[in-house]
């Protein structure tokens, strides 16, 4: 079995390098409007892709995850804070897990 | 002049700190989940905390830690986490356009460590240029929240009811929802781009010929296609926002 400390250091490098390479290599402003627009839309596309459909598998039970997702969507639509949305989703999943 | 600059930097730092707080609190339940998983898989609580502090990733370190627990080789662990984390390059590239161009190389190397899905999302919706002080303020809370949450999860692992542990699995995703829904409500292009990205992810995940594509690459492919379609149809107006 590999040494866990070495494995973790390798993981840390795999997390750090992608974060800093563009920051230190692209120091000029990009003036192409399409590239600018693309970069503006990236965060929304990334988070959408990270969230769906994986959120439905996040609790080990599809129904409870569905209820938690619905509550999260509703509260996010009402523009509640990150903490409120996250805690309400956890609570919803927790409660519904006893009802099914 | 000099004093004014220091004051404004201090203000930026405090503002960043304030903006990072909800992320820090949102991270705690997710990090507790991570701590639970690592320790129940046989890793020491100290190692779990070290993973969170040195990696500061969600999906990447969950996957990497699972591989460590399974006894996978260094190459597989490194490649898997790298593929999942490649998306940070897009975020870092996006931030390179948003930060104060005067920020030095050393400062870029420091604050770059704190780029996560959430700090990036919060930073990228700020108005105007981002200063180094703002970025440092923004990342401190989340780093502490992530590390502290892991320590809590790693130490209470046996005391926590499994139902609550399972419920915490949704926290990370709920946080993502809280970040993307308000802008999607106000902007039709953003809403449609999110939908396109999700549809591509679903296609890649469930159609068996795409089965060879890992989850990290699914995110990259969906993001690049959706954001490119968005940029082609709705290029931003350089006068009003960027």
Within-domain flag for A38: yes
Q: By residue range, what is the domain housing residue A74?
A: 31-99
Q: Is B49 exposed, middle or buried (0-12, 13-18, 19+ CB in 10 A)?
A: buried
CA distance between the termini of chain B: 28
CA distance B242 to chain A (A): 7
Within-domain flag for A6: no
Using CB atoms, which residue from A33, A75, A79 is nearest to B238? A33
| Tokens of residue B145, six digits | 């929240």
The 10s digit of each residue's pLDDT in B121-164 is 889 889 899 999 999 999 999 999 999 999 999 998 777 788 88
* Interface test mutation site (partner B, options A28, A39, A69, max chain B beta carbons within 10 A): A39
Within-domain flag for A2: no
Within-domain flag for A26: no
**Interchain proximity A16–B112, CB inside 8 Å:** yes
CA distance A9 to chain B (A): 8
Using CB atoms, which residue from A29, A52, A89 is nearest to B198? A52
**pLDDT at residue B123, as a whole number:** 93
Within-domain flag for A94: yes
Within-domain flag for A50: yes
- Picking from B65, B120, B111, B136, the residue whose alpha carbon sits closest to that of residue B87 is B120
- Contact (CB, 8 A) for B227 and B193: yes
For residues A73-92, give the mean pLDDT.
93
**If you search the block for the tokens 């009402």, which residue do you land on?**
A78
Q: Point out the residues of chain B with pLDDT beneath 70.
A: 1-8, 216, 238-242
Q: Identify any residues that bridge with B130 across adjacent strands, giving them in sequence order.
A: B99
The 10s digit of each residue's pLDDT in A24-82 is 999 887 888 998 899 888 888 988 998 999 999 989 899 999 999 999 999 999 999 88
Rounded distance, CA B153 to CA B45, Å?
A: 9
**If you search the block for the tokens 């991570």, which residue do you land on?**
B34
- Contact (CB, 8 A) for B164 and A15: no
Phi and psi torsions of B99, nearest 5°: -80, 160
Q: If you measure CA to CA, which chain A residue comes closest to B176?
A: A47
| Tokens of residue B204, six digits | 């890649």
Using CB atoms, which residue from A18, A40, A54 is nearest to B85? A18
Q: Is B101 exposed, middle or buried (0-12, 13-18, 19+ CB in 10 A)?
A: exposed
**pLDDT at residue A2, as a whole number:** 78
Within-domain flag for A24: no
- Picking from A49, A8, A76, the residue whose alpha carbon sits closest to that of residue B215 is A49
| Tokens of residue B236, six digits | 């931003």
**pLDDT at residue B216, as a whole number:** 66
Q: Identify any residues that bridge with B99 across adjacent strands, giving them in sequence order.
A: B130
Q: If you measure CA to CA, which chain B residue comes closest to A14?
A: B82
**Interchain proximity A11–B189, CB inside 8 Å:** no
Domain count, chain A: 1
User: In B, which residues are within 8 Å of A38 by CB distance?
Assistant: 227-228, 230-231
- Contact (CB, 8 A) for B33 and B153: yes
- Residue B152 CA, chain-centre distance (Å), reads 20
- Contact (CB, 8 A) for A89 and B171: yes
Phi and psi torsions of B130, nearest 5°: -100, 130
Within-domain flag for A62: yes
């Amino acid at each position: 079995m590999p040494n866990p400390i070495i494995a973790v250091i390798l993981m840390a490098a795999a997390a750090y390098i992608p974060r800093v390479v563009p920051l230190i290599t692209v120091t000029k402003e990009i003036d192409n409007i399409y590239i600018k627009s693309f970069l503006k839309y990236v965060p929304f596309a990334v988070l959408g892709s990270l969230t769906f459909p994986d959120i439905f598998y996040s609790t080990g039970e599809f129904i409870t995850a569905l209820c938690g997702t619905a509550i999260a969507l509703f509260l996010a639509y009402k523009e509640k804070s990150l903490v409120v949305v996250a805690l309400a989703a956890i609570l919803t999943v927790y409660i519904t897990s006893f009802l099914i | 002049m000099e004093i004014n600059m220091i004051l404004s930097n201090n203000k930026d730092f405090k503002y960043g700190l304030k903006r990072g707080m909800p992320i820090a609190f949102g991270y705690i339940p997710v990090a507790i989940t991570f701590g639970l998983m690592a320790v129940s898989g046989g890793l020491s609580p100290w190692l779990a905390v070290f993973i969170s502090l040195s990696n500061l990733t969600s999906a990447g370190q969950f996957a990497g830690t699972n591989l460590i627990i399974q006894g996978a080789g260094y190459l597989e662990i490194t490649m898997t986490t790298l593929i999942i984390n490649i998306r940070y390059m897009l975020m870092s590239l996006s931030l390179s356009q948003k930060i104060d161009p005067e920020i030095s190389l050393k400062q870029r190397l420091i604050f770059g460590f704190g780029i996560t899905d959430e700090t990036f999302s919060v930073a990228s919706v700020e108005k105007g240029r981002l200063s180094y002080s703002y970025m440092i303020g923004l990342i401190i809370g989340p780093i502490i929240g992530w590390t502290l949450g892991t320590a809590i999860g790693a130490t209470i692992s046996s005391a926590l009811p499994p139902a609550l542990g399972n419920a915490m699995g949704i926290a990370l995703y709920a946080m993502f929802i809280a970040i993307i829904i308000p802008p999607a409500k106000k902007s039709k292009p953003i809403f449609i781009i999110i939908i396109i990205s999700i549809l591509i992810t679903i296609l890649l995940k469930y159609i068996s010929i795409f089965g060879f594509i890992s989850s990290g690459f699914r995110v990259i492919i969906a993001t690049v296609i959706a954001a490119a379609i968005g940029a082609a149809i709705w290029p931003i107006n350089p006068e009003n926002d960027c």
